[in-house]
Amino acid sequence: MTSQSHRKLRAAAVVCAVAVVTAPAPAAAWAATDLPAAVPAVAAPSPDSFSGLTADEIGDRAVTATQSATSLRMTGRVVSEGQPLDIDFAVNDSGECTGLMKIKGGTAELRRVDRITYMKGDEAFWRASMASQGMPEAQITATLELIKDRWLKIAPGQAGSQDLGGVCDLKSLLADLGKDKERRRGLTRGPDGKVDGTPVATLVKKKAGGETTTVSVSEQGRPYILKMVRKGGKEPGTLVLSDYDKPVDVKTPPPGETVDLSKLGQGASA
């Protein structure tokens, strides 16, 4: 994610800070780095549902299945631009999402419904986010007074809306799984295992320099990707994908608990 260039409004500065350090979209791209491109899935009835397939072919099936999901939940910890980021998000293919993120001891909740993005953070979260963008202490303190215990309401077209809304774009997040086909070949199959009780095939990709990515693919039902672990390199971390195709219930915050981005400068509520 890139920060917005306009910082005249305190509100815009807040959203810019959040968009840079909190968006889990880079996490999805990170997870996709070593997976092969999608090809049409075929049935594979067998005690080993992937019997006779190469690791790359299993990866192809996993990509196809995962990209077809109508919703999912992703949880875990990743490193984005040197900062550890904990996420727990449920996203659907209608552009809706709800979830939590934690960074530097702070926590924020993000919701998106009816194309409106809502964000509510604790003081530690907002302070860490704004300080990381170089905001002066006086400006941080003034902004915190305006948004304390309230949801920041961001409409389409407002500063930060596109970046934060992208967190909730399931199709965009999963599109990264099918890119750069040739570079993502060369998987090997490791020992089978389980993720939350579900049997999985394990795919492994090793790179020069000691970086290793392990992808766990469900052996029951559709071959969804259930877990991704990267060790070594600049962006280590773990993501668990679950709740495939389950409804995502997003509640709109009460109007009295929101502050409109366009009115933040006057301190007026939406």
pLDDT of residue 120: 94
What pTM was estimated for this model as a whole? Answer: 0.79
| 167: confidence class by pLDDT, cuts 50, 70, 90 | confident
**Residue 126: pLDDT over 80:** yes
pLDDT of residue 28: 45
pLDDT of residue 42: 42
pLDDT of residue 178: 64
pLDDT of residue 53: 94
Higher pLDDT, 5 or 204: 204
Q: How far apart are CA 173 and CA 32, in angstroms?
A: 9
Mean of pLDDT values over 41-57:
72
| 195: confidence class by pLDDT, cuts 50, 70, 90 | very high
pLDDT of residue 217: 96
Query: What SS3 state is found at 25?
Result: helix
Structure tokens at 61: 């099936």
Mean of pLDDT values over 116-126:
92
| 184: confidence class by pLDDT, cuts 50, 70, 90 | low
Q: How far apart are CA 229 and CA 34, in angstroms?
A: 11
* Sequence spans of domains, the chain: 10-250
Among left, alpha and beta (phi > 0; psi -120 to 50; other), residue 190 is: beta
Looking at 13-22, 138-147, 211-220, which range is the least confident one? Answer: 13-22
Mean of pLDDT values over 53-69:
93
Mean of pLDDT values over 139-155:
88
Half-sphere exposure of 99 (CA within 13 A, CB side): 24
Burial-class residue 254 by CB neighbours within 10 Å (0-12, 13-18, 19+): exposed
**Residue 35: pLDDT over 80:** no
pLDDT of residue 4: 31
pLDDT of residue 264: 63
Structure tokens at 153: 């309401």
Higher pLDDT, 270 or 144: 144
- Output the CATH code of domain 10-250: 2.50.20.20
**Residue 223: pLDDT over 90:** yes
CB 125 within 8 A of CB 107: yes
pLDDT of residue 20: 32
Average pLDDT, the chain: 79
Structure tokens at 5: 């260039």
**Residue 52: pLDDT over 80:** yes
